[in-house]
Structures are given as C-alpha cells and as structure tokens.
A and B are shown apart, each in its own frame.
Chain A
C-alpha cells in the first residue's frame, strides 16, 4: 500500500533563504510524481511534474528531484519570498490504480 510522507510538517524561514522540502513514498512503482501548492482555503496549483524516467525538473526558482530507488523527492526553492508562503503537497499516482496518493503537506511561511 502506497504511503506518502512529507517532512517537515511546517517550516518558517526568513526571506531570501534557500530551502528544501522532502517527500518520501513507500512503493517505488510510480510513473510520475507531482508537486502542488495550496493557498489557504484554495484548490491545488500544479508546480512541477516529474516523470519516472526523469531525475529532476525545474521551473523558475523551483527545482524538484526524484529518486525512485530510494523512494524520495525533494522540492528546492531558491531565494524564498513571502509570496511563497503556502502549503506544498506531493502526490504520486500508484501503479495499477488511477488515484493520486497525497502527503499531508509542508506548511511554509516566509517572513519578510
């Protein structure tokens, strides 16, 4: 049974810091992994999608890596800004099913 864990659960950093969010999963039979951003009370915004054949994906100040063999993904945010404050969720579609399994998220607060 696929389980997704995100560490840390919450993070508070001063503006300008580089930071790393972690996502781990128990079943490596995945075909992609997706990182989402969620603002309070809002829906999910897709940030990055990494296919199982890829090792990393970049979009602006965001970089996500994937290591299937160790069951880990990291989201790196460079030069953090107060506007980056949100909850970040990772999700994996599990092989043989159609559903996404989500982690519980990391609540990020970037202080001005």
Chain B
C-alpha cells in the first residue's frame, strides 16, 4: 500500500516564476492538506482540500492556490515566487472520519 507520494522531490525556480507541486494521497484517503516548512521551523498549514473544495486555509497569500482532482490527488500552485517561498512543502492525507494525517516526503523548493 503506497503511502503519500509527492513530486517532484526537488525543484529550483527563479523569482517571479510559477510552480506546481503534486501529491497523491494514501489509498482510501479523501482529504489532502498542504504545509510549508521553512528551515529550522515546524510546518505551517497552507490549506486543506476535501471533495475538490478548499475547506480551510491558513495564513498564506492568494499567490498560493490549490486543486483537488476527482481521484483525490492534489496540486499546490505558487505564483510570482519570492525568495522567501524557498522551503520544504509537505502534503498530508487523511481519511473520512479521522483527523490523523499521514505525511509525504515533501518537495524541496529553492527560489533563486
């Protein structure tokens, strides 16, 4: 049973560019959450998707947007990249009726 998978593993972009990160949830899970982890910090909640809708959002600007597909996989899009967007982006999935989140290995984004 595959766990949460994220792609790509690493990504290098320049300021002003746009990026798309992808996440496939654990089998049987219908909810996907995204987190940003800056170096030396704990992960910060970006948003959560359920039934293809954004259910809750953290304190992140509109440059951060997402999408969930009918197969429950999800994308995180970041527009107009800033140097400060350099971080590890983590995806977590959970199943119906539980708030236990399972995390993927993350995508390391470097903005130059």
Contact = CB atoms under 8 A, between A and B. Distances in A.
Contact of B56 (A36, A44, A89, A97): A97
Contacts of B99: 31-32, 93, 98
A99 to B, nearest CB: 4
Q: Is the interface of A mostly helix, strand, loop or mixed?
A: strand
Interface in B17-41: 31, 33, 35, 40-41
B88 A41 contact: yes
Q: Is the interface of B mostly helix, strand, loop or mixed?
A: strand
Nearest to B57: A99
B104 interface: yes
Contacts of A102: 42-44
A105 B56 contact: no
Contact of B42 (A41, A43, A93, A103): A103
B58 interface: yes
Contact of B105 (A4, A42, A103): A42
12 contacts: A42-B105, A43-B6, A43-B103, A43-B104, A93-B99, A98-B48, A99-B48, A101-B45, A102-B43, A103-B42, A104-B41, A104-B42
